[in-house]
Every structure is written in C-alpha cells, then in structure tokens.
C-alpha cells in the first residue's frame, strides 16, 4: 500500500512523533510510506485563498520537482519512512497513492482538496485542536469528507455527538522499548519527582508547581527533575531541582530513569500523555490527571494514580500516598513498566492499518 502522511511542519511535538513512529512501523510491515511536511512550519495558507500567481508558481515548481528528486530530510527522531519537505501542501507536491492522511486541522483543509489520485482521504485526529487555531475553522475540519481516525474513545464520542461523524479507532500511542527503558530500576534518595513543563497553560505547569509546594510541606527531603522547551519554566522551585532546556532523546531517558514519580498535570490531552508512557517504560510511578487516553492505558491504583484535572491538591495527595509507603511505591514503579510493554508502535501501526482497510468510509 502507498501511504502519505501530511504534517504541518517538522518540529518537536508529540503529534509529530506519533506520525513518524507509525510511519516507520508501516514501512517494516512492507508498505511504501512517505511523510510530507510544509516548508515553513505553521505558516499554512488556507487552500481557497491561494491566488492565481501562487498556482502558477506551484505548477512550475512541481514541474521542476517532476524532473529531479525532492530532497529528503532527517527528522528529529529516526524513521524508516521517506520524509520530504515541500514548498506548500498543494496537491501538486503530494505523491499519488492508495491512502493520504491529514494529521492536524491545518492539513485537513488541504487534504480535503486533493484529487482521488492521491488516495483515500483520512484525518488522524490526535486532539480537539481549538487551542491551536480559529475555533470555527478547526470545527469545520471535523465536518470535512475525510474518514476520521482517533487516538482515544473521548475523541470518537466527540466526532459522533458534536459533528455527526463516524470515527475509526482508537489508535493508541506506543513507546519505543529500545529508546525508553530502565534495566536496573531503583528507589532514589532523596525521592525524586519529575515532570515536563510547557508554555501552554493547559499543560498544567502551574498545577504541578502548586502540587510540589503542597508535597514539600510534608516531605521536605525530595528532589525535582524538570525538562521542557521554554526558558520561562526555569523558575524558583520550592525544593532542590534540576531544570533541563530542550534535552535530546537520550537525555530524556536519563531523566526518566533518575525519577521515582512522574507527574502529568495536563488539563486536557488528545491521547497519551506521551511523557507518561515514556516515563512508565523507564519505571516511574505515574501520577496523572484523568485526561485523553489515560483510562485506556492505565488502571487507577494499579498502574497509575489518577485524579481530575485542575486540582493540584489531589495530585499532591497521590504523590504523598506514594512517598508514605515504600512498598507501594516500588510496586507502582514495577507495574507501570510492566503495563507499558503492551503499548508498542507496531501495535499502533497495525491498528492504523485496520482503519485504512475498513469499509466504513464517509
């Protein structure tokens, strides 16, 4: 099968990673997979607004590419799929094939305009992206004649109830066991809490900080490990801490392995959350909010401690519950790692293929 995934750009994000990982596993399963991304990240023009001059330029550029290969690029994580950076997401630069997949609201607007020669049209819905663009345009993409594939049951329900759209899936995200692992898990002294920070409010950084402050009132002998992609996150934490700005993938695994408890404070997520899954594979006990696909991945009290979002006192309570009981903390670390062995990118790719082969088209 010839499959094309259409990305809005090539930047560090969980949704980008999931596409690259699934694309790579599809290649292993003997499919011909191309990932295309826009030349200017996030600078996407709405298809109907492209002027005649742009169309002429695109046609000439496409003619140029037709007589020489489009240069491939190296994405920020390795993938076996071919990855191409194209001038824009016009159909002129999209290879013909059996399946073409939009991966975000911006790309859905483009994919909807592609001719049938590009393949059956799918929309890989990884979140309800009203936080990422104009509300009306984002909502409009979910009504487009694209077959929806979702990453969690709540998105399937949203597609059906709000937009009257049948959705396939869910395709549950996986973890690379060759990248995220911990062969010798230990309890650290002092006990170490980790989490990822973000400049986006809905990721819950302030809630995580408040939770740590509450925990420190009862347990002062704790340490904090934090990483993220925003300098503003490097603030004065209430306990001894280490902050890492834009660590590479190998360093991220080290940080997970150096942590006993991983806290995920998001207000909402599409699937995952991916850092939780990676930390689980590295034998962290998980304290997370009840968002995204958390209930589809974890069992409360057995492989994670789950609480409602935007309630930092409950996050703190679950952290304290683990700190109070060393045996329970060890058990939760072990259970989290064991649980995550069920979730591989190969499994995600197989679920995606089931969707591609489904007869439930719009």
- Whether 18 and 155 map to the same domain: the answer is yes
The pLDDT of residue 231: 66
- Whether 14 and 94 map to the same domain: the answer is yes
Mean pLDDT taken over the chain:
90
**pLDDT per residue as tens digits for the range 329-353:** 999 999 999 999 999 999 999 999 9
- Whether 125 and 231 map to the same domain: the answer is no
119 within a domain of the structure (yes/no): yes
362 within a domain of the structure (yes/no): no
Mean pLDDT of 102-106: 96
- Whether 307 and 351 map to the same domain: the answer is no
- Whether 123 and 159 map to the same domain: the answer is yes
Mean pLDDT of 5-9: 94
Mean pLDDT of 280-309: 98
- Whether 54 and 198 map to the same domain: the answer is no
Residue partners of 142: CB distance under 8 A and separation at least 6: 123, 125, 148, 159, 162, 163, 165
Q: Provide the whole-model pTM.
A: 0.90
The pLDDT of residue 286: 98
The pLDDT of residue 66: 43
Peptide bond into 84 cis (omega under 30): no
- Whether 294 and 148 map to the same domain: the answer is no
State the CATH number of the domain containing residue 260. Answer: 3.40.50.2000
Of the pLDDT bands very low, low, confident and very high (cuts 50, 70, 90), residue 68 is very low
Domain that holds residue 308: 191-340
- Whether 121 and 157 map to the same domain: the answer is yes
180 within a domain of the structure (yes/no): no
How many domains does the chain contain in total?
2
182 within a domain of the structure (yes/no): no
Q: How far apart are CA 101 and CA 148, in angstroms?
A: 10
- Whether 9 and 64 map to the same domain: the answer is yes
351 within a domain of the structure (yes/no): yes
In the predicted structure, residue 45 carries a pLDDT above the cut 90: no
- Whether 155 and 223 map to the same domain: the answer is no
The pLDDT of residue 229: 81
Mean pLDDT of 75-89: 88
- Whether 146 and 270 map to the same domain: the answer is no
**pLDDT per residue as tens digits for the range 125-176:** 999 999 889 999 999 999 999 999 999 999 999 999 999 999 999 999 999 9
Q: How far apart are CA 360 and CA 362, in angstroms?
A: 7
42 within a domain of the structure (yes/no): yes
Of the pLDDT bands very low, low, confident and very high (cuts 50, 70, 90), residue 70 is low
In the predicted structure, residue 100 carries a pLDDT above the cut 60: yes
In the predicted structure, residue 360 carries a pLDDT above the cut 80: no
Question: What is the percentage of the chain residues whose pLDDT exceeds 90?
Answer: 79
Buried b (16+ CB within 10 A) or exposed e, 344-355: bbeebbebbbeb
- Whether 15 and 160 map to the same domain: the answer is yes
Of the pLDDT bands very low, low, confident and very high (cuts 50, 70, 90), residue 44 is low
């Amino acid at each position: 099968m010839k499959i094309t995934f259409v990305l809005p750009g090539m930047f560090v994000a969980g949704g980008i990673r999931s596409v690259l990982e699934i694309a790579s596993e599809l290649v292993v399963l003997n499919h011909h997979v191309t990932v295309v991304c826009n030349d200017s990240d996030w600078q996407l023009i709405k298809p109907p607004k492209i002027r005649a001059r742009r169309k002429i330029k695109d046609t000439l550029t496409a003619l140029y590419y037709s007589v020489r290969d489009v240069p491939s690029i190296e994405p920020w994580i390795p993938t076996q799929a071919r990855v191409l950076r194209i001038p824009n997401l016009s159909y002129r630069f999209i290879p013909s094939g059996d399946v073409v997949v939009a991966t975000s609201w911006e790309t859905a607007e483009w994919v909807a305009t592609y001719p049938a020669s590009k393949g059956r049209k799918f929309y890989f819905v990884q979140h309800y992206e009203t936080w990422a663009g104009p509300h009306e345009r984002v909502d409009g993409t979910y009504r487009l004649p694209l077959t929806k594939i979702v990453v969690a049951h709540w998105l399937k329900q949203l597609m059906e109830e709000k937009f009257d759209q049948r959705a396939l899936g869910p395709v549950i995200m996986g973890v690379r066991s060759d990248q995220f692992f911990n062969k010798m898990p230990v309890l650290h002294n002092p006990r170490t809490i980790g989490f990822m920070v973000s400049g986006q409010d809905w990721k819950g950084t302030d809630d995580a900080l408040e939770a740590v402050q509450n925990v420190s009132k009862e347990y002062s002998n704790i340490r904090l490990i934090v990483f993220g992609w925003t300098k503003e996150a490097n603030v004065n934490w209430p306990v001894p801490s280490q902050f890492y700005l834009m660590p590479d993938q190998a360093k991220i695994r080290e940080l997970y392995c150096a942590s006993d408890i991983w806290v995920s404070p998001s207000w909402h997520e599409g699937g995952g959350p991916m850092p939780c899954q990676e930390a689980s594979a590295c034998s962290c006990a998980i304290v997370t909010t009840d968002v995204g696909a958390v209930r589809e991945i974890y069992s409360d009290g057995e492989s994670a401690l789950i609480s409602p979002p935007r309630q930092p006192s409950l996050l703190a309570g679950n952290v304290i519950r683990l700190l109070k009981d060393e045996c329970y903390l060890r058990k939760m670390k072990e259970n989290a790692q064991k649980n995550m062995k069920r979730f591989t990118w190969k499994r995600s790719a197989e679920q995606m293929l089931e969707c591609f082969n489904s007869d439930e088209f719009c």
